[in-house]
Structure 1
Amino acid sequence: MSHISRSASLLALPEELLIAVFTHLALRELLRCTQTCKRIHDTVARSLELQYQIELAVDRLIDVHPQLPFVRPPPPDANATRPSYALLPTAERLAALFDRRARWRRLAWRRRESFHLPGPCQAYELVGGVFALSLSMHHLALLRLPDAAHAGDQLERPEAQARVRDFAIDPSQDLVAFVSIDLRFCRITLALHRISDDKPHPDATRKVLEVLTPVTMHSINFIQIADDVIGLFFLAHSPCFLVWNWRTGILAVNCCSFEIPVDTFDIAFLSNRSYMLTLAAGSGSIEIYSFTCDGDEGAPALPPSPATGSELLAMFMPIRPPTQVARLALPPTQPGQVLRRFSTHGPPRVARPDPRAQFAPAPETDVHLMELRYGDRLEGFNLFVLNRFLLSLVREWKALGRADAGPVVREWEEWGVENTRMMGLLAPFRWLRYIHGSRVVFPPSPLWLNGVEQQTPALILVAFDFNVDPKRPPSPAYLAAHEAQYARAGEREPALQALPTWVEAPAFVAPVETRLPYLVTTRVGAEGEFEGYTGFMVDGDRLLGLKVRANVVNRCAE
């Protein structure tokens, strides 16, 4: 038909149906629609639901408890400290979102609580609202962090069933993986338990995963859970990286000896089916790999693993190798200025958001903070890279549609200038888990007023947020006024860093230009406010300041 009647057109729909249609659009599509005609623009502007979706997308957040339409609210619970997030009307959700944004821009926490934990610890973790630390081979201490509706809850297990050398947790799956090492037989064991009661996890087909290493290992560098997989990176005479599907017990990645570059310095998951290696050799590079697990679409069937009492996964069983999908070169270096160290750190990867939270970072919003050290003097720099850019290379490789396609290769000038931000080393981190989503929180550092050294300088807390768009118009006046109520006398205003910067150093052939925008927020500590803190960790909308000597964990922001 060459003509579509008005009754069949989109604009002929009632406003409530238009809103229902627009709720299925992504942010970019919705904003384009608002530019097509006045009626659509006014409809979107009047709709609280659509404005809420737009603001969620701008902050790259998801609503952990979406509003349930057409459901009659149950009677209020007399024991609840506040109504369920799922029952909040859209207006209150939008107000909570704006308040959250304003508080983070000013580092203005609602309240502050202190928790005393035993110490010292040999391993620790902060994931999904739970802070855990191992005090000995059989002693695990857990702290479920408080939030707006729940008090904190401490739990100690002085007689944990598994021997704890290291561990990883995912509270959203009630999962803790304990690592133990038998040096006599070069054997690594992972025991899969529930956090709630320390019993073997019912979702794990094999409650204990074991693997033989070809040589005696020196140290565990990395253990992390990413949804249905667990990764373990360690150093023997050469790097080794293992990935299990913890639910089935099948070893999905087995890279040791010649199967992994000998110059591999660190590893990080990008998703539960991809990871990156950092190579500290020459000028350095980031190597990105993709892998499949049993049961994935297109994955070949694996032979059953040998069952020798403890259902041992043999070291040399035939396993399909991971596929390298991309190689990213770092800035060219001068002769003799070799990259010696190349570590990376990012946020944890949980299967589901913390159910006690109202908001959570959307997938792929994470930022990776890398530390690079060059030459014999180990001159150091920080490099920030967004996870969604790294994952875009995985999708680019898959779009080629050929399993035998070589990796996507990018020289520094092709990718690094627009997609990273490099600067000199900012602060020494004594504690990990200082990244959550796109936000990085640094340890408190001295602030010299007017450049003059003082006997007792004030301490300043600094946070970077890489979820910014320099082209976005300023906040409306009413939002700016709301944020202003959290401003403190003498505080610096949040500063958007959108202009390019250049790092000049003897290590590099030419000044290194980078342009990734970010927002800097600061808070100058009141008298003694940050005194004694050795670092800060971040989990959702909570900041944890750690005092090692006093064995105190302070929840500062919520």
Structure 2
Amino acid sequence: MLSLPVELIIKILAVLDLRSLLRCRQVCSLLDGLVRNDASLQYKIELTVAGMEDGSSSPLLVVERLHKLKLRQDAWNRMRFTSETAVPMRRGGVWELYGGVLAQSRDDHGLSFRQLPSDIRGIDDVGWTLEDLPMRIRDFSLDPSQELLVVIEKPRQINTSTYLVHLLDLHTGKVHKNAPTQGYLSHCPDGQSFSYMIQTCGEHLGVLFLSEDETVKELVIWKWRTGALELVITGAAIGAFVFLSDTQILVSHLGGLNDDSEVEPVLGVIDFTEASNVRTPIKDIGFLCLFRFPLMRSWAAPLAVHLRSDPAPSWKPHPDLQVPFHVAREDRLYVVTAWIAEGVAVKTLVLFLPSQTIFKHLKALTPEEKGRCLNWDEWGPTGSRLLTAPFNHSATWVCYVHGMAFASVWRSPMVGDERYLQIYDFNPLAVKKFRADLKEGGDYKEDEEDPRITTVIIDEPAHLPSAANLFINPVVTTLPFLWKKFPVDDTRFVAVMLSEDSVIMVSSQPRIRQYRVLTLEPGPQ
């Protein structure tokens, strides 16, 4: 191989995975030099370590993309959120953050949008509004990559329970060019007064209808471009859902696996392309795989289990943005929040579950094997991290996860009400790289300019002393992550949301209602 022309050797190296590419550097000085000095190979390594994917529509040369990627990673690693934009909080009542766009309802028939900027990736700060939409907006969601706006309209007549799901163009408000002829989907759930969980994943659209008293819950999945119904699941035990892939969803629910009188938190994987599109109780659904939580004591009563992950597995930015890179589509972090009652007290736990853990067990199934039930000891201790919920962990401002990272508020136990932004980064390669970059070993690094900005490797086993009475056996988890802490000069914010290049601090107090957008800024170039 080494007798081949250098250009051919580089082409051969370019098709290797990261591990093989790094191993080639150890073979000889020639291969080591080729890998270290070729921009395309370095770009491939840096992309993988950063959890990023190349932006195929970008006109930038590989050398330029590599330079911008290093700037972005330096800003992320050092928590350089210095560019600030204040966005007033509208009083319309519903909002959404997805794909780098913050959207709010203005009134019953209007929406405002703000594309969050990124100097590093060349994304402009753009705002626009849609006014006088013909339907009364009850809730909405969006997917900028498909220029899709999903608006749910309440039934127009008192004597009907038909809910319309309108499929609109994100910028014009007109019927989306790829929508069915009528421009909407419809569903008739049992019950009234619903709230909604809306998610898109490529050609699929999922809506979870939740009645006000939570006695009626229905999860519906369509192919939104054709209107074809793929799945309808019913049951008060349904908690939430997220897309795992273009064909699978992960559903949280509270139900007994062996006895209907039992209640325990369970995560179930469903292949909705193989399921029936007839309304089916969740207890009768054919799960591909079930993930059980630790066994609970008789006095522990699980109240709810919610799921969150952004963006969808197949998501990538709209080609018109021409970004040089974006969050990779392979890996996602699923944040599972469980509320568990112990007497009159309610304890909130958060489980951080990477998609690698789920797919590891799905791949182990034989083609004929369905409905395998995995006990906690088979997947949880080494494949997840279970923690007591962070300070002010919100059930309202739930856009706290993006890719493999989670953001929340951290309040200093030493200095009054001083608050920080904190990031949990579960990218395993980022953890390894951080440890390798520490010159003197250890697991801790302070910023040279501001020692309050710190990054720590958390790889010690996590015990749950405050929740020990909830479980029959001790619960210990070991999945490592990077913990980043960043001080802010504002104690009024109550929650933090996360986008690809920004963190958004939320102040929703009566006198101060705004989104404070902090954007990654490159250092000296």
- Normalised by the size of structure 2, how large is the TM-score? 0.85
**Cα distance in 1 between the residues matched to 2:217 and 2:424:** 32
Q: What are the equivalent positions in structure 2 for 1:239-254 lying under 5 Å apart?
A: 239-254=217-232
Alignment partner for residue 286 of structure 1, among 252, 267, 271?
Answer: 267
Alignment partner for residue 238 of structure 2, among 264, 271, 277?
Answer: 264
- Aligned letter for 1:438? M
Give ranges in structure 2 of 5+ residues lacking alignment.
256-262, 521-525
Partner deviation per Cα, 1:142-161 (whole Å, 9 max, x = no partner):
11222224542222223013
The answer on 1:155 being equivalent to 2:128 is yes
Q: Is contact 2:446-2:455 (8 Å) kept?
A: no
Structure-2 residue corresponding to 1:99: 71
Structure-1 residue corresponding to 2:382: 418
Q: Is contact 2:191-2:216 (8 Å) kept?
A: no
The answer on 1:538 being equivalent to 2:489 is no
**Cα distance in 1 between the residues matched to 2:433 and 2:226:** 46
Residue 446 of structure 1, CA deviation: 3.2
Relative distance call for 1:518 and 1:150 in structure 2 (3 A) is closer
Residue 26 of structure 1, CA deviation: 1.5
Q: Is contact 2:458-2:480 (8 Å) kept?
A: yes
Alignment partner for residue 143 of structure 1, among 102, 114, 123?
Answer: 114
Residue 141 of structure 1, CA deviation: 1.3
Relative distance call for 1:113 and 1:330 in structure 2 (3 A) is same
Structure-1 residue corresponding to 2:152: 179
Structure-2 residue corresponding to 1:62: 53
Structure-2 residue corresponding to 1:205: 180
**Percent identity between the two aligned chains:** 23
Partner deviation per Cα, 1:123-174 (whole Å, 9 max, x = no partner):
1111122111113321211112222245422222230133211111001111
Residue 395 of structure 1, CA deviation: 3.7
Partner deviation per Cα, 1:457-516 (whole Å, 9 max, x = no partner):
3221111100034555745599x9xxx996433314300011212223111112201011
Relative distance call for 1:316 and 1:54 in structure 2 (3 A) is closer
- Aligned letter for 1:436? H
The answer on 1:501 being equivalent to 2:462 is yes
Structure-1 residue corresponding to 2:200: 225
Q: Is contact 2:117-2:519 (8 Å) kept?
A: no
Structure-2 residue corresponding to 1:47: 38
**Cα distance in 2 between the residues matched to 1:492 and 1:154:** 32
Residue 392 of structure 1, CA deviation: 3.6
Tell me whether 147-156 or 466-475 shows the greater mean CA deviation: 466-475
**Cα distance in 2 between the residues matched to 1:503 and 1:232:** 34
**Cα distance in 2 between the residues matched to 1:439 and 1:16:** 37
Structure-1 residue corresponding to 2:411: 446
**Cα distance in 1 between the residues matched to 2:56 and 2:335:** 30
Structure-2 residue corresponding to 1:390: 358
Relative distance call for 1:524 and 1:410 in structure 2 (3 A) is same
Q: Is contact 2:101-2:116 (8 Å) kept?
A: yes
Residue 406 of structure 1, CA deviation: 2.1
Residue 234 of structure 1, CA deviation: 1.6
- Normalised by the size of structure 1, how large is the TM-score? 0.81
**Cα distance in 2 between the residues matched to 1:155 and 1:554:** 18
Q: Which has the larger radius of gyration?
A: 1
**Cα distance in 2 between the residues matched to 1:358 and 1:461:** 27
Residue 419 of structure 1, CA deviation: 0.8
Secondary structure of 1:547 counterpart: strand
Give ranges in structure 1 of 5+ residues lacking alignment.
1-9, 67-84, 294-298, 303-314
**Cα distance in 2 between the residues matched to 1:334 and 1:105:** 41
- Aligned letter for 2:125? G
Relative distance call for 1:419 and 1:234 in structure 2 (3 A) is same
The answer on 1:524 being equivalent to 2:484 is no
**Cα distance in 2 between the residues matched to 1:492 and 1:550:** 27
**Cα distance in 2 between the residues matched to 1:153 and 1:110:** 19
Secondary structure of 1:111 counterpart: strand
What CA RMSD, in Å, does the superposition of the two structures yield over aligned residues?
A: 2.8
